[in-house]
Structure 1
Amino acid sequence: MNRALRIIFSRYGIVVIILILVLGVIALASQRQQTPLDGGNTANGGSSSEASSEAFTEDDGLATENCEGDDCYPEEELPQEAVDRSVEFAEVWLNPNGYSADGWYDTLVPFLTDDQAELMQGVDPISVPATEITGEPVPEGLKVGIPMDTGTLTLTMTEGSNNSTELDWLVSAIDWEQS
């Protein structure tokens, strides 16, 4: 018994144990040939790559009939009230009244989703990289780009409510691109 344990726990014994484990994992992995698209179920016994390509040709209900190109999937557009709300937020974000961090945060909260408001806690208004809006807002999908003197403020808008606002358009993400 002592001799068997000494062999098993020697360098060579440990190498053999690791080799057996690796080969076992490889054997198990080679038996399981599933793809996320078809779950490994092929009705006709064909290969999983054939089943995967068939899954791509099935109607997903999103595209229109006989549709080709980029126009197949309609892009959601924001109503004018959401664009107006994003501009109102941008005006408050610029902190024209020179509020302290807490005062500035309090003016922003009615425009923000709860998650975004949580991210903005503790942000200093001095960190705002712009001083004025220089152009018209540009809506694209659910985002609104607002040109500023030093870059573009991009706001992602979502319809919802927060602790201080009933159902309205709220800012769910804030992005800045320096020009």
Structure 2
Amino acid sequence: MWTLIDSPVGQLRLVAHDGAITAIDFMPALYAEGRPRGERDDSDPLLLECARQLAEYFAGDRTTFDLPLAPSGTAFQTRVWEQLQKIEYGTTCSYGQIAGRLDLTGHGARAVGLANGRNPIPIVIPCHRVVGANGSLTGYAGGLDRKTTLLGLESGALF
């Protein structure tokens, strides 16, 4: 099931399945059309709770999320997404730092970047907090404008 909400980064489609959030899609969902969504349900309690927590986040009143999550991905992607959830609100981390935490060498930062880009639950799993080794804002599946907005919300000033 799914619902749509408006946000400072545009319309978002919140998707839940079997009692967990499985996706947050930036609309239009150019890269997410293959994901199962089911029927629209604007009154589902879990989707309403997700919308409430996101509204609090965008208002600056929430720094962590307390939602059941079930992102679908490979074992490696799941390990990367677990690391993303450890990046604290208002801070950033580089792809290389995450690769180091996973004991990856060689092209580990690139592999982390690819997994980061496949994160199906952005914002709640904060892939926007990952930056280049020099602190630069590198690619973001939702677009660099959205990444800039999200990081600006968290830092209190736009980048």
TM-score of the two chains, using structure 2 as the length reference: 0.22
Structure 1 or 2: more helix by fraction: 1
Higher strand share: 1
